Chain A
Amino acid sequence: MGRPDGARTRARRLVPAGVAPAAFVMAFVLAAALVVPARPARAQESCADTLAAEAEEVLRLPATEDPDRLVRARQLVRLARALSGSDDLLFRALDLAVLAGDEAEATVLAREAAARIPQRLGRDEWLLVARDAEARNDPRTALLAYRRYALLARGVPASLEERMKRLVAEEEARKIAVPSFPPPTRAARRAFAEGKDALARGDRDGARRLLSHALALSPGYSAAALALGGLEAGAGRAQEAIAAYREALAAEPDRVEALLPLSSLLWEEPDRSLKEESLRLLEHALVVRPEPARPWLTAAERWAEWGDAARALDRLDAYRARVPARERRATDALAQRLRLRLSAGSAPPAPAEADSAPLDSASPALPSYRLAQVYLARGDVASEHDALAALSEAERLDPGFALAHDLSATILERRGDRPGAEAALRRSIAADPSRATPRERLARLLSEEPGRGAEAEAAWREAERTGSREALAVLARLADGRGDDAEARRLYARLLVEAPDSAGAEEAERYLSAWRRDRQRLAAVAATATLAAILVPLALVVPRRRGTTLSGWLGKAPADAVAVRPLVGRLRHETLKHGGLLLRDAARRLRDGDEAARRDAAGLLLHRLFGEAEGDGRPGGGTGAAGAPAAPAGTGGLVAESRRTLDSLVASARERGVTLNARYKDPVLAPLGAALRGLERVRGPLRALASDPERAGRRAVDAVVQALERAAQGMSPAAGAHLGRLLDEATATPVVPDEIARLLAAAASERGVPVPPFEVTAPDGLRVRVPRADLATVFRNLFANALDAARDARSGPPRLALLVEAARDPVTGQAVARLVLADDVPRPLTSEMIHGRAAERGLGVVADIVRAHEGLVTAGPPPASLRGMEKAVVLELPALEGTA
C-alpha cells in the first residue's frame, strides 16, 4: 500500500520549529475560525494540513512514550478531514483504520476511496470493498471489486471463483421481472364465483360488476381478470378487455388464454406500437404452448401483414407441419405469396423486445427464484442442478411462493422426474389454490400417465373451478367421449361465452354447430307429413317475425348507439363504400370483357372479396410516389370482414338482452346479409374464371354476374344513409334550457339548498348526438359538483350560467354543440381534475360519458361574456346536421 509521503512532508513543514504542536494547532484552529468568513477555503485547507502534520508527528513518537498515539493520530486526521476533502487525507485515514484493525471504519473509507481514487487502492482494500458490497446486496459493485482484487493478487483462489460466479448469476437475476401478487382473498374468490354464475345466467352487467369487484379486492387475481377480459371482448369493449387481459398477464405472464386474445385485440388497434406488442405476445404464446396449430397460422398472417415475409413463412411452415393435407392446401397460396415476397425484398425491423422492469415483491424467496431462472436460462445440466438448489432455497424461505414450485415442476418434468414434478405442482396448488395454471399442468401430467384418467379428470374439474378455459374444453371433450351430450353442450356453450377468442372456441363452435345440425336432422326425420305441413310455414315465418330491427333496438335503448356506431361505421366504409365501387363494374367487366379482362376481374374479386392471393401475370398497379403497397394480407376479404361486423352487431345486441333479427327482419341489414351470402356462393365459379375463363364457360360468367348485380342491389346507396340517420335519430337530444334548469333544481333539492340563480343562453333547435339520459347524467353531476364546491367553500349561494353555441370542427367540418357551464364559486377546477386518475367520482362519470359519445370536456376560466363567474366547464358534443 502506498503512503502519502508528499503530504506528510508538506504537513511537517507547516509546523514552526520550537512551537508545541498541540498549542500550535489550537491557535491555528482559532485563527482559522476567525479568518474563515473572509477566505474560507484556503484557511480550512491550511488548518487541515496542520492537523495532518500533527498526526504524523504523533505517530513518530515511540510507543513507550505514548501508548495511545495511534488513537490520537486518527482523531487528528478525522479533524483534518472535516476541514478538507483531500484525497491524501482520505487515503491516510483508511491507512490508519487498517493499521488500527478498525474494520468498520476501514470499510466505509475504502468504499469512498473506491469511488474517488480507485487507482490508489491496494489488494486488501479491494477485498474490503467487495465484502462490503456483498453485504449491502450490491452484486455489481462486489464483482467489480473482486475483479480488481484478482488483478492485484495475480490470481483468484478457488473459493473466490465460486463466489464470483454466483455474483454474476445474482446480478443477472436482479434484472428478471417476477410478478408476485398475494393469493386472492376469500371475499375476492366469492365475488369471482358469483361473477361466473352471473355469466352463466347471461347477466353480463352483474358479471362485470362482480368480476371487477373481485379484481379490486385482489389485484392480479388472474382468473377474475381473464373472465372479465372474455366478457368485455365479447361485448366489443376492446379497451376494457385489453386492460383486463393485461392484469391477468401481470399475474401470470405465461397464461396462453390471456396472451392470445390480448394479442388479437392489440392487433386491431391502429397504433403501430400496439401491433408490435401484439406480435410479441403471440410469439410468447407459441413458445409457451407450441402444440395447437391455429396460433401458428395467425402468427404467419400477422407477420405477413407486418411485412416480415421470412418470419411469416417460418410460422406458416410450423402450422403446415401440424395440420392434415387438406388444410395445408388451403394455405398454399399464402405460402407462395410469401416466398415471392421473400425473394423480392427485405423485412422491416422486428418489434423490439419488451422491457423487463423488475417488480417489487415482499416474498423473501424472490432473489433465489430469480437466481434459479438465470441458471435455467443457461441450459446445461450443471446449471439445471444449481437452479433446483436455488428453488429449494426459495421454497424453504417462503413455502407460499407458488412460482418457485411451478419452476421446480418445469425442471423436474424436463428431466423426466414425473413424480417430482407432480409433487412440486401439488405444493404450488397448496401455496395458492386460486391459480388455474398449476392445476392445468397437473391435469395434463396426470392425463399422460396410464391408469390415472380419473385423477386427471378430477384435476381438470378443480382447474375449471379456478377459471381454466382449457379445462372447460377438456371436460367437454371427455363428456362427449362418454356420450354425455348435455354436459358437453353446456361446457362448450360456456366456453364460447367466457372465452370467445380462446383456442378452444373454434372447437366449441364446431361441436355446437354439428349438434344443431344433428338436432335439425332428427327433427326433420321425426316429423310427419302433417306436422311438416304445419311446421314448414312456421319455420319460414317465425325467424322472419321474431326479434327486432336495428331501429327498434335503438328506439328502446338509445344509449346502445355507443356500441353500434363503430360497427355501423365499419359497414358503411368497408362494405357499402368498397363493395359499391367493386361489384357493378366488376359485373360489367365480366359480362362484356374479353378473356383476359375476365380473368383479371375474377382474380381481383377473389382477392378483394375473399382475401385470396392473385396469380402471376396480373396487370401492375399505378405509379405512386413510393410505390403502392400490396393489398392487406390475411384479412379474409370484404365478405368475411362484413360478415364478422354483422355478427358482432347481432352479438352486441344479444349481450344487451336484445334479439336483433338482422337476417330476415331488418330492412337494411337483411339485404346486406343476403348479398354477402350470395357472394360466398360464387367463390367457386370465380376461381374457375380466374384460372381459365374459357373452360369455365358462359354459364359460370352469367352466374357470377347475376350474383354480383344482386349483391350490388343489397348494398344500395340508400343503405348507408339510412343507417347513419337511424343512429342520429336514436341519439338526438334537443338542448332545452327548461329541462336543464329542472336538473339543477333537483340537485339543489337533494342537498337541501335553495335553487341557485341560473341563466341560460341557447339557440333554438340545437340537438346533440348524446342520448337524453346520458346528457341528464352529465348535467346532474356538473350541478352536484358546483353545489358541493359552494358548500365546501362556504361562499354563500352560487350563481350559475350556461352558454350554448353551435360550432363546427375546423378540420372535419362536423357539427358541434359547445356548452359552457360557468359558476362563481371560488374553488379551482382544471381539466386535470376531470380527466386525471384522481378525478372526483361525479366528474369522472362526466368525462366517461362525454368520451363515449366522441365529445370533449375541459375546464378553465369562463369566457368574458359570462361576467362575474369564476370558472367554467366546456362540453363539446357532436351535434346534428342542420342544427349547427
Chain B
Amino acid sequence: MRTVLLVEDGTEYLEAFERLAPAAEAEGARFVRAGSLSEARALLARGAPDAVFLDVVFDRVGEDALAGDLASLIARFGGDRRRAVRHLAENQGFYLLDALAPALPPGIPVVLAYDLDVEPQRLAALRSRVPGLVGLPDGASLSEALALLGC
C-alpha cells in the first residue's frame, strides 16, 4: 500500500481522495494529512511517504503556521507586512516544497496543486530541486490526480 502525504490547510483534498476516489486506486493508498510545515516534518520523521501532494493557497491558517522566512519577506517588500503574509499564504505550496525538498526521498512523485502546464520553464527550474515534481492541471479529476501520485 502506498503512503501519500497530503499537506493542506483544510481537509478538502483528504476528503475527496478518501471518499470519492475510485475504489481500485484509493484502496491501494493510505493518506496522511499535515496542516503545516511542522506537521509535515513530523510525519516525514516517522517514515518516508511514497508520494506527496501539496496544496498551494493556505489562507485559513495563522501567519505563525506558514512556512517561509516572513521577516526577510517583509524586508523584501519594503516593510509591507500585510503583503508579505498574503504572499506567503498564496504561495505556501511553493514554500512548503522548498522547505521539505531536502527531506523528501529522491525521485518520489510530488504533486503541487498548481497548473504548471503553461509554464514549463518554471517547472524545470523547480524540478532542479525536486525531480519528481508535477503540477496539477486545472480541472483535473481525482483519478488523474491519483495517477500523478503513482496510485
Interface residues of A (CB under 8 A from B): 239, 269-272, 569, 572-573, 576-582, 584-586, 588-589, 600-601, 604, 608, 619, 621-626, 628-632, 712, 715-721, 724-725, 808, 810-815, 831, 834-835, 847, 851, 856-858, 881-882, 884
Residue in A580, A720, A834 whose beta carbon sits within 8 Å of that of B141 in the complex: A580
Interface residues of B in 1-59 (CB under 8 A from A): 6, 10-16, 18-22, 31-35, 39-40, 42-43, 56-57, 59
12 residue pairs from A and B, CB less than 8 Å apart: A239-B82, A573-B56, A577-B138, A580-B141, A582-B20, A585-B21, A585-B141, A622-B31, A625-B35, A628-B35, A811-B94, A881-B118
The closest CB in chain A to the CB of B116 belongs to A813
Q: A271-B63, A573-B57 are in contact. Are A624 and B39 (CB under 8 A)?
A: yes
Please report the C-alpha to C-alpha distance between residue A205 and residue B96 in the assembled complex, in whole angstroms: 41
Establish whether residues A581 and B145, one from each chain, have CB atoms under 8 Å apart when the complex forms: yes
Q: A720-B115, A857-B78, A858-B78 are in contact. Are A585 and B14 (CB under 8 A)?
A: no
Residues of B within 8 A of A580 (CB): 138-141
Residue in A608, A622, A808 whose beta carbon sits within 8 Å of that of B6 in the complex: A622
Q: Taking each of B14, B15, B115, B138, which has the highest tally of chain A beta carbons within 10 Å of its own beta carbon?
A: B138
Interchain nearest-CB distance for A844 vs B (Å): 12
Interface flags, B96-126, vs A, CB<8A=1, else 0: 0010000000000000010101111111011
Residues of A within 8 A of B56 (CB): 573
Establish whether residues A585 and B77, one from each chain, have CB atoms under 8 Å apart when the complex forms: no
Interchain nearest-CB distance for B81 vs A (Å): 8
Interface residues of B in 81-95 (CB under 8 A from A): 82-83, 85-86, 89-91, 94-95
Closest 3 CB pairs of A and B: A720-B138, A717-B139, A625-B39
Establish whether residues B14 and A628, one from each chain, have CB atoms under 8 Å apart when the complex forms: yes
Residues of A within 8 A of B94 (CB): 811-813
Establish whether residues A623 and B12, one from each chain, have CB atoms under 8 Å apart when the complex forms: no
The closest CB in chain B to the CB of A720 belongs to B138
Residues of B within 8 A of A622 (CB): 6, 14, 18, 31-33
Establish whether residues A628 and B11, one from each chain, have CB atoms under 8 Å apart when the complex forms: yes
Establish whether residues B139 and A715, one from each chain, have CB atoms under 8 Å apart when the complex forms: yes
Q: A577-B138, A585-B20 are in contact. Are A856 and B76 (CB under 8 A)?
A: yes
Please report the C-alpha to C-alpha distance between residue A625 and residue B43 in the assembled complex, in whole angstroms: 6
Q: Taking each of A600, A720, A834, A835, which has the highest tally of chain B beta carbons within 10 Å of its own beta carbon?
A: A720
Establish whether residues B18 and A626, one from each chain, have CB atoms under 8 Å apart when the complex forms: no
Please report the C-alpha to C-alpha distance between residue A621 and residue B119 in the assembled complex, in whole angstroms: 34
Establish whether residues A629 and B16, one from each chain, have CB atoms under 8 Å apart when the complex forms: no
Establish whether residues A578 and B138, one from each chain, have CB atoms under 8 Å apart when the complex forms: no
Establish whether residues A588 and B22, one from each chain, have CB atoms under 8 Å apart when the complex forms: yes
Please report the C-alpha to C-alpha distance between residue A847 and residue B78 in the assembled complex, in whole angstroms: 9
Establish whether residues A577 and B113, one from each chain, have CB atoms under 8 Å apart when the complex forms: yes
Residue in A572, A585, A813, A882 whose beta carbon sits within 8 Å of that of B115 in the complex: A572
Please report the C-alpha to C-alpha distance between residue A835 and residue B12 in the assembled complex, in whole angstroms: 39
Q: A271-B63, A628-B11, A629-B35 are in contact. Are A604 and B20 (CB under 8 A)?
A: yes
Residue in A270, A619, A715, A725 whose beta carbon sits within 8 Å of that of B59 in the complex: A270
Establish whether residues B16 and A582, one from each chain, have CB atoms under 8 Å apart when the complex forms: yes
Interchain nearest-CB distance for A806 vs B (Å): 10
The closest CB in chain A to the CB of B16 belongs to A581
Residue in A600, A621, A720, A724 whose beta carbon sits within 8 Å of that of B14 in the complex: A621
Please report the C-alpha to C-alpha distance between residue A274 and residue B22 in the assembled complex, in whole angstroms: 41
Please report the C-alpha to C-alpha distance between residue A97 and residue B34 in the assembled complex, in whole angstroms: 76
Q: Taking each of A585, A831, A857, which has the highest tally of chain B beta carbons within 10 Å of its own beta carbon?
A: A585
Interchain nearest-CB distance for A717 vs B (Å): 4
Q: A632-B10, A715-B139 are in contact. Are A619 and B20 (CB under 8 A)?
A: no
Residues of B within 8 A of A721 (CB): 115, 117-118, 137-138
Please report the C-alpha to C-alpha distance between residue A154 and residue B120 in the assembled complex, in whole angstroms: 87
Interchain nearest-CB distance for B28 vs A (Å): 15
Residues of A within 8 A of B126 (CB): 813
Please report the C-alpha to C-alpha distance between residue A572 and residue B138 in the assembled complex, in whole angstroms: 7
Interface residues of B (CB under 8 A from A): 6, 10-16, 18-22, 31-35, 39-40, 42-43, 56-57, 59-60, 62-63, 68, 76-80, 82-83, 85-86, 89-91, 94-95, 98, 113, 115, 117-123, 125-126, 136-143, 145
Residue in A270, A586, A621, A626 whose beta carbon sits within 8 Å of that of B89 in the complex: A270
Number of cross-chain contacts by CB at 8 Å: 169
Q: A580-B138, A604-B15 are in contact. List 12 more A-B contacts (CB 8 A).
A: A269-B82, A270-B85, A270-B86, A271-B82, A584-B141, A585-B143, A588-B22, A622-B6, A625-B32, A629-B35, A720-B115, A725-B118
The closest CB in chain A to the CB of B129 belongs to A813
The closest CB in chain B to the CB of A275 belongs to B62
Interchain nearest-CB distance for B139 vs A (Å): 4
Residues of A within 8 A of B35 (CB): 624-626, 628-629
Establish whether residues A719 and B57, one from each chain, have CB atoms under 8 Å apart when the complex forms: no
Residues of A within 8 A of B59 (CB): 270
Establish whether residues B141 and A811, one from each chain, have CB atoms under 8 Å apart when the complex forms: no
Establish whether residues A719 and B138, one from each chain, have CB atoms under 8 Å apart when the complex forms: yes
Interchain nearest-CB distance for B44 vs A (Å): 10
Please report the C-alpha to C-alpha distance between residue A326 and residue B106 in the assembled complex, in whole angstroms: 58
Residue in B34, B77, B118 whose beta carbon sits within 8 Å of that of A724 in the complex: B118
Residue in B39, B125, B137 whose beta carbon sits within 8 Å of that of A808 in the complex: B125
The closest CB in chain B to the CB of A883 belongs to B121
Establish whether residues B42 and A625, one from each chain, have CB atoms under 8 Å apart when the complex forms: yes
Residue in B39, B62, B90, B120 whose beta carbon sits within 8 Å of that of A626 in the complex: B39
Interchain nearest-CB distance for B83 vs A (Å): 7
Residues of A within 8 A of B113 (CB): 577
Establish whether residues A851 and B12, one from each chain, have CB atoms under 8 Å apart when the complex forms: no
Please report the C-alpha to C-alpha distance between residue A305 and residue B7 in the assembled complex, in whole angstroms: 20
Please report the C-alpha to C-alpha distance between residue A503 and residue B7 in the assembled complex, in whole angstroms: 39
Residues of B within 8 A of A589 (CB): 19-20
Residues of A within 8 A of B12 (CB): 578, 608, 631
Residues of B within 8 A of A882 (CB): 121
Q: Taking each of B11, B56, B57, B95, which has the highest tally of chain A beta carbons within 10 Å of its own beta carbon?
A: B11
Q: Taking each of A623, A624, A831, A835, which has the highest tally of chain B beta carbons within 10 Å of its own beta carbon?
A: A624
Please report the C-alpha to C-alpha distance between residue A2 and residue B56 in the assembled complex, in whole angstroms: 77
Q: A585-B22, A631-B15 are in contact. Are A625 and B139 (CB under 8 A)?
A: no
Interchain nearest-CB distance for B115 vs A (Å): 6
Q: A573-B57, A628-B33, A856-B77 are in contact. Are A619 and B139 (CB under 8 A)?
A: no
Interchain nearest-CB distance for A850 vs B (Å): 9
Residues of B within 8 A of A720 (CB): 115, 137-139
The closest CB in chain A to the CB of B133 belongs to A813
Please report the C-alpha to C-alpha distance between residue A608 and residue B19 in the assembled complex, in whole angstroms: 13
Establish whether residues B121 and A881, one from each chain, have CB atoms under 8 Å apart when the complex forms: yes
Residues of B within 8 A of A857 (CB): 78
Please report the C-alpha to C-alpha distance between residue A881 and residue B124 in the assembled complex, in whole angstroms: 12
Residue in A581, A725, A813 whose beta carbon sits within 8 Å of that of B13 in the complex: A581
Q: A580-B138, A815-B121, A835-B78 are in contact. Are A585 and B16 (CB under 8 A)?
A: yes
Q: Taking each of B12, B60, B120, B140, which has the highest tally of chain A beta carbons within 10 Å of its own beta carbon?
A: B12
Establish whether residues A621 and B11, one from each chain, have CB atoms under 8 Å apart when the complex forms: yes
Residues of A within 8 A of B32 (CB): 622-625
Establish whether residues B142 and A719, one from each chain, have CB atoms under 8 Å apart when the complex forms: no
Residue in A270, A623, A851 whose beta carbon sits within 8 Å of that of B80 in the complex: A851
Residues of B within 8 A of A724 (CB): 115, 118
Please report the C-alpha to C-alpha distance between residue A288 and residue B10 in the assembled complex, in whole angstroms: 35
Q: A811-B95, A835-B79, A881-B119 are in contact. Are A272 and B62 (CB under 8 A)?
A: yes
Establish whether residues A716 and B121, one from each chain, have CB atoms under 8 Å apart when the complex forms: no
The closest CB in chain B to the CB of A858 belongs to B78
Please report the C-alpha to C-alpha distance between residue A619 and residue B77 in the assembled complex, in whole angstroms: 45
Residues of A within 8 A of B13 (CB): 581
Interchain nearest-CB distance for B29 vs A (Å): 10
Interchain nearest-CB distance for A855 vs B (Å): 10
